[in-house]
Amino acid sequence: MARIKFSTLTEQMFYTLLCLKEECCGMDILDKIPEMTDNRVNIGSGTLYTLLEQFCECDMIRETKTEGRRRSYILTKTGREILEKEYMRICAQAEDYRRFFSGDK
């Protein structure tokens, strides 16, 4: 069975959308993700710009302004809903882990 696009998010997808809670451009995102994850997650520029294009096509983000080659984006209602759904999925996984290992020492 084919996976529905964006039914789950990679870390790069999750943090890109998280960055776009506030308007930012691609270069801002490239700087913010390692900073917000203590360098645990990085994203390449090719991956980022591909994601931004796909997110725009799916109405998860929208372009807010263009200054030369620099484009800024912000999260849409749809993007926020997808981000929230992914957060809830991650929380459920963490709870499953806690239940499974509770009492193990």
> What is residue 3's predicted lDDT score, i.e. its pLDDT?
47
> What is residue 62's predicted lDDT score, i.e. its pLDDT?
98
Q: What is the pTM of this model?
A: 0.89
Class of domain 11-101: mainly alpha
Three-state DSSP string of 32-97:
HHHHHCCCCCCCCHHHHHHHHHHHHHCCCEEEEEEECCEEEEEECHHHHHHHHHHHHHHHHHHHHH
> What is residue 71's predicted lDDT score, i.e. its pLDDT?
95
> What is residue 13's predicted lDDT score, i.e. its pLDDT?
96
Residues 74, 21: Cα–Cα separation, whole Å: 6
Residues of the chain falling short of pLDDT 50: 1-3
